[in-house]
């Protein structure tokens, strides 16, 4: 059922992005970049898993000076965990591929720097996991087929309509529960919940955004303001 929601969301987003600018106040854009991720609760630390973060977005500016905006994105987002022991032979890799739909509120200052917060629904579309000895980690449940996360970001205009964006995202519900066993101590076990922990670095191009220093046109001229 949840997968069936993705196609309507994509259609709605593309309509918002591609409609003629004189007919509405939406801005259209696309982002491409990388996720640096770890899974809290797997006993491996560091944002060592690297994956894609790419997809279109629609932005609706509002407020007296159009400094505020709300945005929606449809992203292909690769998350997971990676560990290769430097002092032992332990190897572990977890790949979790999501379709993410973030909904965010932003404040932009002087059309140069912007900050935003929001929530994100993620639909798990693919997963793969290397095996560890059962004595180390035993899953108690399968991965949830979806994720709900909170996120915040800061964006800076690089040039023209091109922005660089740093985003932090963290799961609000546990992905699954696992039990760890110490192979050296009989009966020593502990249970942990697992969460996606993501830092994203992206470039975003906003197609029909007003440029800094460009005078605004009067209403009716079809100008989309930021």
Residue 202 falls inside a structural domain = yes
| pLDDT beyond 50 at 223 | no
Asked whether residue 211 is domain-assigned, the answer is no
Residue 148 sits in which domain range? 3-16+27-206
pLDDT score of 49: 97
Q: What pLDDT does 90 receive? A: 79
User: Which contacts of 122-126 are long-range, i.e. CB under 8 A and separated by 24 or more positions?
Assistant: 122/77, 122/98, 122/146, 122/147, 122/148, 122/149, 122/196, 123/2, 123/3, 123/5, 123/6, 123/98, 123/99, 124/96, 124/97, 124/98, 125/3, 125/97, 125/98, 125/99, 126/95, 126/96, 126/97
Q: Is 208 exposed, middle or buried (0-12, 13-18, 19+ CB in 10 A)?
A: middle
d(CA 134, CA 12): 45
- CATH of residue 32's domain is 2.40.160.20
Name the nearest CA neighbour of 137 among 186, 189, 173: 189
In a domain, 176, yes or no: yes
Among 7-11, 20-24, 71-75, top mean pLDDT goes to: 71-75
- pLDDT of amino acid 8: 55
Within 10 angstroms of residue 54's Cβ, the number of other Cβ atoms is 14
- Position 217 in a domain: no
Residue 154 lies in a domain: yes
- Asked whether the predicted pLDDT for residue 222 surpasses 60, the reply is no
DSSP state of 9: H
- Number of domains the chain contains: 1
Q: Is the pLDDT of residue 133 over 80?
A: no
Helices (H) and strands (E) in the chain, counts: 1, 12
Mean local confidence (pLDDT), 116-121 = 97
Min mean pLDDT across 24-38, 148-162, 185-199, 202-216 is at: 202-216
Task: Note whether residue 81 is domain-resident.
Answer: yes
Q: Would 212 be classed as within a structural domain?
A: no
The per-residue pLDDT for 33 is: 98
pTM for this prediction: 0.82
Q: Answer whether residue 123 is part of any domain.
A: yes
Local confidence band at 218 (pLDDT 50, 70, 90 cut-offs)? low
The reported pLDDT for the residue numbered 25 is 80
- 3-class DSSP state for residue 10? helix
- Looking at the DSSP assignment, which residues form a beta bridge with residue 148? 121
In this prediction, residue 225 carries a pLDDT of: 43
The residue-averaged pLDDT of 96-116 equals 95
How far apart (Å, rounded) are the C-alpha atoms in residues 224 and 20?
10
Could you read off the pLDDT of 180-189 as tens digits, one per residue?
887 677 777 8
Instruction: Provide the pLDDT for residue 163.
Output: 97
> How does pLDDT run across 46-70, given as a tens digit for each residue?
999 999 999 999 999 988 888 999 9
């Amino acid at each position: 059922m949840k997968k069936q929601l993705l196609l309507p969301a994509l259609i709605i987003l593309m309509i918002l992005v591609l409609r003629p600018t004189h007919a509405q106040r939406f801005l259209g854009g696309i982002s491409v970049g990388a996720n640096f991720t770890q899974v809290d609760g797997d006993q491996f630390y560091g944002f060592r898993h690297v994956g894609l973060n790419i997809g279109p977005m629609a932005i609706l500016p509002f407020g007296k000076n159009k400094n505020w905006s709300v945005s929606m994105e449809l992203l292909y987002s690769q998350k997971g965990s990676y560990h290769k022991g430097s002092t032992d032979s332990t190897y572990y890799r977890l790949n979790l591929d999501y379709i993410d739909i973030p909904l965010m509120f932003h404040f932009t200052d002087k059309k140069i720097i912007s900050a935003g917060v929001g929530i994100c629904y993620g639909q798990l579309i693919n997963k793969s996991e290397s095996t560890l000895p059962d004595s180390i980690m035993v899953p108690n449940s399968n991965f949830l087929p979806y994720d709900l996360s909170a996120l915040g970001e800061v964006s800076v205009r690089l040039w023209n309509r091109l922005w660089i964006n740093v985003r932090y995202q963290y799961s609000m519900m546990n992905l699954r529960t696992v039990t760890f066993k110490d192979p050296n101590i009989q009966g020593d076990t502990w249970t942990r919940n697992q969460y996606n922990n993501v830092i994203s670095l992206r470039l975003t191009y906003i197609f029909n955004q007003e440029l800094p220093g460009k005078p605004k046109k009067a209403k009716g001229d079809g100008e989309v303001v930021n």
